[in-house]
Amino acid sequence: SNSFTDFVAPVLMREHVGADGIIGLDALQDFRVLIDFRNHTIAVEDAAAKQSNRGFEIIVRARHKLGQLLITDALVEGVRATVIIDTGAQSSLGNIALRDRIRAKRAQALVTTDVNGVDLIGQLAFVRSLSIQGLALTDVPLTFADTPAFAALGFANKPVLSLGMQHLALFDRVAIDFARQRVLFDVPQDIARTMREVKRTNQYRSDF
C-alpha cells in the first residue's frame, strides 16, 4: 500500500467533484493506472514492479509535460493534433484551434461544470474521424472550447483534444503508465480479432 503525508490540497465542493476526493497527477507519476471497464475497476499499480502488457493490442508512446502524458501523433480529420488522456473528465474536449483547422460545423452550445464549480461554455460538434497509431474512432462528439489547462500546456493556438471517459469506455481496458510514458489500449474482442487478421499487411485500421 502507499500513503502520502504533509501535502497541500485544495478543498472542493463534493457536489462538483462527485466523490470524496481526487487523486491528482502529482501523486501518480511513479504508477500505472489501470482502468478495467469490463470489470468496473480502477487499480493504481506500482510502476517499479514488472507489469504485463498481455492483452493490450495497442501501445502508444507519449510525451511527458506538467504531469500529463501527451500523445503527439494523432490525426483528427487529417489534421495532426495532440491528444491528452483525461480520466477526470466525462466528455472529450477540443480547443478552438482544432475546431478551426478541421472546419467543424457548430451543432449546439453546451455548458459543463468543472470540479471548481466553474461553468465552461463550449460548442458541440461531431468529428468524422480520430486516428491514433492505427486505431480510428468515427463520428466522435467533441465539445470545443479554450481552457486554462490547454494554455498551460502550450496549446493556446495549437490543435489539441482531451479524451474523456465517454470515449475511453469504448475500450475494454486502458492503462496509463506515467513512469514509462506509455498508454495501453485493450480493444474489444471482435476488433482485436480483425486487427490480428490484417496486421500482416503492416497497415491496419480499427474502426469503433
Q: Give the domain ranges of the chain.
A: 28-207
Which residues on adjacent β-strands are paired with residue 141? 126
pLDDT value at position 196?
57
Q: Are strands 58-61 and 182-186 parallel, antiparallel or unpaired?
A: antiparallel
Question: What mean pLDDT do residues 70-97 have?
Answer: 91
Q: How many helices (H) and strands (E) does the chain have?
A: 5, 14
Going across the sheet that includes 182-186, the strands are 41-46, 31-36, 173-177, 182-186, 58-61
Interior/surface letters 80-93, b for 16+ CB within 10 angstroms, e for the rest: ebbbbbbbebebbb
pLDDT value at position 173?
95
Pure H helices in the chain: 14-17, 96-102, 148-152, 165-168, 189-198
Question: What mean pLDDT do residues 46-70 have?
Answer: 83
pLDDT value at position 137?
86
151-207: pLDDT as tens digits: 999 999 999 999 989 899 999 999 999 989 999 999 887 666 665 555 556 655 555
Q: Which residues contact residue 75 at a Cβ distance below 8 angstroms, ignoring those fewer than 6 apart?
A: 81, 129, 130, 131, 132
pLDDT over 70 (residue 16): no
94-153: pLDDT as tens digits: 999 999 999 877 667 777 777 667 777 888 899 999 998 777 888 888 999 998 889 999
pLDDT value at position 88?
79
pLDDT grade, residue 30 (50/70/90)? confident
The CATH number of 28-207 is which of 2.120.10.30, 2.60.120.200, 3.30.450.20, 2.40.70.10?
Answer: 2.40.70.10
pLDDT over 60 (residue 53): yes
